[in-house]
């Protein structure tokens, strides 16, 4: 009995030793050693963003036409507001309203950098309009804040890039490397006619960017409650996208004498089966980095848990699953977004369909999604098919020790005092996905703090934030 107790105690000591040893290895990211720069408040840029918001460059839907007059207006606004950019840089249009500006650098032997943004915005639902503090396309400037659809996503990026470029051109600046500034006009409907076509042009001309920067992660001082510093997250990878259609065909009939099970019933139960389970969780490398970097700023217990994932992985995953955003970081998600059946109140339909939208984690594939759906439903009456038209497998991630990540990290430290910069995995999709296959590094970051109303009500940005973004892009353009 004594021997057993001894063995148990020795085991316990070894376990504690390992736990503490790993915990001590988790080092805080070095405190900000770069000094921050002064960021002048740019009221002129704020007026330009306000003007840009007032032009309704809306992407309504995949199959719905755009208002070309508005997109034309936006082009004229760009030409009028940024004349040097239009006269000194080489400009090309793609499908009329997507643009590429080439700014030739001093050193043509270096691979170019790409700055991206999109000019389209999502619509404002009629029912939501009355809930806005100011009309959604007013571009109202009130108390240092610019209000309106696109203030966050993504006209602020487009405007900040153009302001930075124009201001540098005014000072006769030439970048060291060649820069391509790419603006898509249909990002909100998957970028098929914009970024997709532009990326093909890059491939045809054998242009291989060393670095691509698009919208994505932001600066946050609210969500990471236990971290006492602002946290800037830079996405090093993004999830994939697939739609899976399920369909049930069972002869219908008169609604006065229904069969025990109708097509709708079978479809309904199939949806429930898929929704009651999740695909296996994965802690991807960017998420692992985010957990480590933020844990290093927190309590000893938190540090111990994150630095000993071999023991606490399940606990960590359970914790992440509690919140919809963090759940989406550890799981490939699946949710029905379209359900169709029936044409008349007294006719039982003979066909019922649903579409699941799935966002695929790196490490899983669209085939894994289809197989998961099939085995969850496990019913021959339900056909399962993946859509190929909008399919995008999950991207490979840019390693966080890549020079371009370090570059953005150090630039971010210059514009945000005492910031903690971390990689993360983006759960939405952006235009930059088209560039991943032929670019050395693709990162997603918008240097905006605590953004509000993105895709929703009261979308807005502070003038300070916009000014910071301009300084940020200037620093990127000045990189060697």
Residue appearing with tokens 């590429």: 100
Of 148-156, 172-180, 255-263, 412-420: span binding Zn ion (CB under 5 A)? 148-156
- How many residues touch Zn ion under the rule CB under 5 A: the total is 3
In the complex, what is the shortest distance from the CB of residue 326 to Zn ion, in angstroms, rounded to a whole number?
21
In the complex, what is the shortest distance from the CB of residue 446 to Zn ion, in angstroms, rounded to a whole number?
9
Cα distance between residue 137 and residue 149, in whole Å? 6
Residue appearing with tokens 């990002």: 187
- Using CB under 5 A as the binding rule, whether residue 154 contacts Zn ion is answered as yes
Cα distance between residue 476 and residue 407, in whole Å? 8
In the complex, what is the shortest distance from the CB of residue 185 to Zn ion, in angstroms, rounded to a whole number?
12
What DSSP designation does 154 have?
T
Cβ-based nearer residue to Zn ion, 119 or 384? 119
Catalytic residue chosen out of the listed positions 42, 120, 186, 465? 120
Active site residue 431: no
Cβ-based nearer residue to Zn ion, 42 or 153? 153
In the complex, what is the shortest distance from the CB of residue 215 to Zn ion, in angstroms, rounded to a whole number?
5
Cβ-based nearer residue to Zn ion, 154 or 292? 154
- Using CB under 5 A as the binding rule, whether residue 465 contacts Zn ion is answered as no
Three-state SS for 21-74 is HHHHHCCCCCCCCCCCCCCCCCHHHHHHHHHHHHCCCECCCCCCCCCHHHHHHH
SS3 269: helix
Catalytic residue chosen out of the listed positions 154, 163, 187, 215? 187
In the complex, what is the shortest distance from the CB of residue 367 to Zn ion, in angstroms, rounded to a whole number?
28
Cβ-based nearer residue to Zn ion, 400 or 444? 444
Strand order in the sheet with 460-462: 141-142, 145-147, 460-462
Residues 207-236 within binding reach of Zn ion (CB under 5 A): 215
Cβ-based nearer residue to Zn ion, 190 or 246? 190
- Using CB under 5 A as the binding rule, whether residue 238 contacts Zn ion is answered as no
- Using CB under 5 A as the binding rule, whether residue 153 contacts Zn ion is answered as yes
In the complex, what is the shortest distance from the CB of residue 155 to Zn ion, in angstroms, rounded to a whole number?
9
Active site residue 188: no
What DSSP designation does 474 have?
H
Cβ-based nearer residue to Zn ion, 157 or 284? 157
SS3 476: helix
Q: Which residues contact 236 (CB under 8 A, 6 or more apart)?
A: 285, 286, 397, 398, 399, 400, 405, 423, 424, 425, 443
Of 147-155, 166-174, 284-292, 336-344: span binding Zn ion (CB under 5 A)? 147-155
Of 14-22, 146-154, 245-253, 306-314: span binding Zn ion (CB under 5 A)? 146-154
Provide the CB-side half-sphere exposure for 96 (13 A, CA).
Answer: 10
Residue appearing with tokens 């806005």: 132
Cα distance between residue 328 and residue 87, in whole Å? 45
Of 151-159, 163-171, 195-203, 223-231: span binding Zn ion (CB under 5 A)? 151-159
CA-to-CA dists, residue 478 to 164, 174, 267, 372, angstroms: 10, 8, 56, 48
Cα distance between residue 111 and residue 108, in whole Å? 8
Task: Name the residues annotated as catalytic.
Answer: 120, 187
Residues forming the site for Zn ion (CB under 5 A): 153-154, 215
């Amino acid at each position: 009995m004594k021997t057993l107790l001894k063995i148990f105690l020795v085991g316990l000591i070894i376990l504690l030793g390992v736990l503490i040893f790993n915990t001590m290895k988790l080092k805080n990211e070095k405190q900000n050693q770069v000094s921050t720069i002064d960021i002048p408040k740019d009221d002129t840029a704020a007026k330009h963003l306000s003007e840009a918001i007032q032009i309704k460059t809306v992407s309504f839907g995949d199959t719905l036409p755009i208002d070309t007059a508005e997109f034309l207006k936006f082009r004229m606004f760009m030409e009028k507001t940024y004349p040097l950019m239009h006269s000194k840089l080489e400009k090309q249009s793609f499908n009329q309203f997507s643009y590429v500006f080439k700014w030739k650098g001093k050193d043509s032997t270096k691979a170019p950098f790409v700055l991206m943004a999109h000019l389209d915005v999502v619509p404002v639902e009629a029912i939501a309009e009355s809930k806005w503090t100011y009309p959604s396309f007013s571009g109202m400037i009130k108390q240092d804040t610019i209000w309106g659809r696109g203030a966050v996503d993504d006209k602020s990026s487009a405007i900040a890039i153009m302001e930075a470029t124009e201001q540098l051109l005014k000072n006769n600046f030439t970048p060291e490397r060649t820069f391509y500034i790419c603006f898509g006009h249909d990002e909100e409907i998957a970028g098929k006619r914009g970024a997709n076509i532009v990326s093909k042009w890059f491939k045809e001309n054998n242009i291989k960017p060393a670095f691509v920067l698009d919208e994505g992660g932001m600066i946050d001082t609210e969500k990471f409650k236990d971290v006492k510093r602002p946290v800037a997250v830079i996405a090093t990878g993004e999830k994939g996208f697939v739609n899976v259609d399920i369909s049930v065909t069972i002869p219908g009939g008169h609604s006065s004498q229904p069969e025990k099970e109708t097509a709708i019933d079978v479809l309904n139960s199939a949806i429930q089966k898929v929704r009651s389970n999740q695909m296996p969780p994965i802690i991807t490398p960017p998420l692992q980095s985010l957990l480590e970097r933020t844990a290093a700023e927190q309590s000893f217990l938190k540090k111990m848990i994150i630095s000993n994932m071999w023991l606490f992985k399940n606990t960590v995953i359970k914790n992440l699953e509690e919140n919809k955003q963090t759940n989406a970081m550890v799981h490939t998600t699946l949710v029905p977004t379209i359900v169709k059946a029936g044409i008349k109140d007294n006719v039982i339909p003979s066909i019922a369909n649903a579409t699941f939208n799935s966002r695929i984690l790196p490490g899983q594939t669209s085939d894994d999604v289809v197989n998961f759906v099939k085995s969850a439903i496990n019913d021959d009456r339900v056909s399962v098919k993946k859509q190929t038209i909008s399919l995008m497998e999950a991207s490979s991630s840019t390693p966080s020790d890549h020079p371009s990540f370090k570059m953005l990290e150090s630039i971010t430290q210059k514009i945000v005092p005492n910031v903690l910069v971390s990689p993360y995995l983006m759960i939405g999709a952006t235009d930059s996905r088209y560039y991943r296959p032929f670019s050395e590094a693709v990162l997603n970051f918008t240097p905006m703090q605590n953004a509000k109303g993105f895709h929703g009500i009261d979308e807005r940005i502070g003038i300070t934030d916009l000014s910071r973004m301009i300084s940020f892009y200037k620093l990127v353009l000045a990189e060697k």
